[in-house]
Amino acid sequence: MEAYKNWVRRNREYVNSLESLANGVTWLLPERFSQSEIGPEAVTAVLGVITAINEHIIDTTPRSQTPSAAVEPRCFPYPLCLSMIKELETLVEVAAQQYFGDDKKWNFIALTEATKVIVRFAWYRQSGYRMLLQGGETPNIENSPSPSKPGNHHEPDHFLNMNGRTQWNTEGKALSALSRFQENARMVADPEWLRWVQHQHPIMEPPAPVVQRTTLSKLLNERGVSGVLFVLGEALFITRPLIYVLLIRKYGVRSWVPWFLSLAVDFVGVGCLTPLSILRFGGREQQSNFTDAEEHELRRRKLLWALYLMRDPFFSTYTRGKLESTEKIMEPVPLVGILTAKLVELLVGAQTRYTYMSGS
C-alpha cells in the first residue's frame, strides 16, 4: 500500500488526468440512464471511489514541520468517507429502484442521506465547528481571521497566552539558545561531545504544539448571536438533503411541498451565514468571520440553488419544455444540433436520478 501511495504522490498530475478522462467517458456509456441497468453506474461508482482514494492520498502527503508548527492530531478520515458515500449513492439509488421499485427506493436514499448527516456532524465537531467546505469533502484548515496582536501576526489564536505570546516563543527560545551556547562551548574542547550531541539532537527537539479545537460552548460564548447564527446555518445546510428526501417520501416527487420547503431551508441556512460575511464591508474596524475559502464556499452554496430548476415538479412543468424547444431550434444547425440533442438527452437522463440533482 505504501508503494502505491508513493506512486500516486509522485505522479499526481498523470493520475488526475487519467481519472478525469475515465470519469468523462462514463457519461457516454450505453444504458447510462436506463431504469433496469446498473452496470454503468457500478463502473462509475468504482472509478469514483478510486478517484476519492487517490485524492485523499495526495491531500495527506506528509509535510515537513518546524518546532513551532501546529500539528493536527490523527483522526478518522471523514472527507474520504463522505467522498466514497457520494460516489456510491447513485449506485444505491439505481439498485434500489430496480429491486424494490420507485416508491421504496426513497427509503434507501433517506438512509444514505442520514448516513451523510451523521458523518458531517461528526466531522463538523471534530474540525472545531468550522464551515464544511464542499460538503465536508475538503478539509477546512485555513486559519480564521482574527484581530492583529502586537508582536504576533502569524500565530493562531489558540496558541496565545495572556501576554499575546506563545510558550515556545519565550521559554522555548531562551532554553534553546542556552543549550546551543553550552553545546558550542563544549564542542571546542571535546569532539566526542559533538558526536554525542549530533546523535541526541532529534531527541532534544521540543514537541510541536497540538491544535486545540474550539468546542460548541466556547464558540457560542465567544461569538454570541453570530455564533448561534453560524451553527444554525451549518446545521440547516447539513440536514437539508435529509429533510427533502423525507418530504418526498411523504408527499411524492411530483408535489410542490418538498420543493418549496427544501428551498426555504436553503434560503434560511444561507441567510444565517450571509450577515457574518457582510461584516467584511461594514467598516475599517470590522472583519469578516470567514476566511477566503469559506467565502468561496458560501458562494458555491448559493450557486447550488440553480439545481431547483432541474428538480420536479419545476422541471416537468417548466424546464423540460424549454430544453425541448431549444433542441428543436438548434436541430437544423450542422454539428451544433447533434451536440445540443446529446446535451439535452444527458440533462433529461440525469434529472431522473435524485443523487445527480440533490446538491448534497
pLDDT tens, residue by residue, 286-312: 456 788 899 999 999 999 999 999 999
Closest to 171 measured CA to CA, from 147, 134, 206, 196: 206
Could you read off the pLDDT of 178-219 as tens digits, one per residue? 555 455 544 444 555 445 545 555 444 555 555 567 888 888
pLDDT of residue 89: 92
pLDDT of residue 164: 39
pLDDT of residue 235: 96
Q: Count Cβ neighbours within 10 Å for each residue of 54-85 and write b for 16 or more, e otherwise.
A: bbbbeeeeeeeeeebebeeeeeebbbbbbbbb
Positions in the chain short of pLDDT 50: 65-71, 144, 146-171, 174-175, 181, 185-189, 193-194, 197, 202-204, 280-286
Closest to 109 measured CA to CA, from 290, 276, 117, 304: 117
Residues 50 and 187: beta-carbon distance below 8 Å: no
Closest to 294 measured CA to CA, from 281, 269, 276: 276
